Structure 1
Amino acid sequence: MNDLKLALLSILLIPSFVFAHGPSRQKALVSIEVEASPDKVWEVISDFCSIEKWNSMVKTCSASQDSKKGSIRIIEYDTGESVSEKLFKHDAVNMKILYAMEQLEKGRIIKGLPIATLSTGISVTLVDDGTSTLVQMKGAFYRAFPGPTPPEDQTDAAAIEAVKILYETGLEGIKVAAEGK
C-alpha cells in the first residue's frame, strides 16, 4: 500500500518539477562581410573600449586595464543604462575577443536589453576569395525574467531580438569604420 501511495505521489509531483525551471540559455549569431583586410578590421575593434566608436548604442566606455585579459569595462548605453563587462580573451594573432557582462543586481532589467547575462565572442577572418573579411558576433545569454511566464517584452524571443539588434548595430559600425565610408 505504501508503494502505491509513493508511486501516485511521484506521478503527481513530476509535472511540477518539469515546469519549475527558470529560463533557458539562448544564443545569437550575427555576421557581416566587410570590404577591408582583417588587419584593418582588427584595428577598429581591438581596443576593448573602441565599442563606443563603432556601436552607436554605446554612449561611453572606460576600461580598467585597456585590452588586457581581466580588464573590466563600464559601458553606458544610449538609454542611460550602464553595465560592466570583463575581458576573458584578447587574441591578436587569431583576431578573437571574448567578454562577458558582469552579474547584474537581482531583478534589474536593462532598458531595451531584457537579459540577465551575456557573453560575447567576436571573430575576424579573411573570406575565402581574399578580398573581404567576415566579422562574427556570437553570444549566449539568459533572459532577465526568471519565471515561467514572462511579460511580452521580456520573453526569450524579445531577448534574442534585442541581442541581435545590439550585435547588428555594432557590426554595421565596424563595417563603416573599416571601409572608411
Structure 2
Amino acid sequence: MIKTLKTFMGAALVISMPVMALDGLEKLSVTETVTVDAPAKQVWGKVISFDGLDSWIPGITKNELVSGVPNEVGAVRKLYVDDASLTEELTDLDDKAMTLKYRITKDNVDLLPVTHYSSTISVVSKGDNVSEVSWSGEFYRGFPESNPPDYLTDEAAVKGVTGLYQAGLGNLKKELEGK
C-alpha cells in the first residue's frame, strides 16, 4: 500500500511539474488588427483555411494537415519554416461569427519563442468592401525558469508573436487588396 501511494505521489508530481514551472511567470498577450479593403466573406475564406496558412504568412514554407478535416475543430496542422516545425490544433471555429481559435500542441522555441500558446483570429465586416481582421494570442515565454537566455525572454516572446502577426496580417491585406 505504501509503495502504491509513493508511486501515485511521484506520478502526480511529474504530471503537475509543467504547471508548477509556470507558477510566477507572467502570461503574455499580443493583439494586432488590420483593415482590409475586401468583403468580410472573402477575407474569412482566406483566414479560415487551416491547411493553407502558408499561402498568406511569409516565411512558412509548408502547411501540412496531420489529422482531422480542414476547417473542423480537432484538425491538426504542422507548420514548417524550412526543416523546423511546430504543431497546432484547431480548437474552436464559428463560421457565422468568422472566428477561429487554435493552440500550439508541439512547441518549437527556435521558431516562435513561446510556450502554452493559444490564439484567436476574427474577421468583422466594416461595410460592403471593408473588413477588420484581429489576431490575438496568449502565451508564456519560451523558457519557464529564472534567468532565460536573451532569445527566450518575455520581450523576445512578445516581439516574436508581434512580428508574426504584423507580417501575416500585412501580407493578407496585400494579397486580398491585390497590391
Task: Give the Cα separation in 2 of the matches to 1:43 and 1:180.
Answer: 16
Q: What is the SS of the residue equivalent to 2:116?
A: strand
Q: C-alpha root-mean-square deviation of aligned residues, in Å?
A: 1.8
Q: Which residue of 2 aligns with 1:170?
A: 168
Q: Which residue of 1 aligns with 2:92?
A: 89
* TM-score (normalised: structure 1): 0.80
* TM-score (normalised: structure 2): 0.80
Q: Report deviation, 1:21.
A: 3.8
Which AA in structure 2 matches 1:45?
A: V
Q: Which runs of 4+ in 1 moved over 3 A?
A: none
Cα 1:66–1:131 shift into 2, 3 Å: closer
Task: Give the Cα separation in 1 of the matches to 2:94 and 2:171.
Answer: 21
Q: How does 1:27-176 map to 2 (within 5 A)?
A: 27-63=29-65, 64=67, 65-78=69-82, 80-104=83-107, 109-127=108-126, 131-176=129-174
Which structure has the larger Rg? 1
How many residues align structurally? Answer: 156
Which AA in structure 2 matches 1:59?
A: T
Higher RCO by CA contacts (8 Å cutoff, separation 6 or greater): 1
- Tell which deviates more after alignment, 163-172 or 112-121: 112-121
> Structure 2: which 5+ residue stretches go unaligned?
1-21
Q: Report deviation, 1:131.
A: 4.3
> Structure 1: which 5+ residue stretches go unaligned?
1-19
Preserved contact between residue 84 and residue 102 of structure 1 (Cα < 8 Å): yes
Spell out, residue by residue over 1:89-119, the C-alpha distance to the aligned partner (whole angstroms, 9 max, x if none): 1221111110000044xxxx52242112211
Task: Give the Cα separation in 2 of the matches to 1:57 and 1:117.
Answer: 22
Identity %: 29
Task: Give the Cα separation in 1 of the matches to 2:45 and 2:171.
Answer: 13
Task: Give the Cα separation in 1 of the matches to 2:159 and 2:152.
Answer: 11
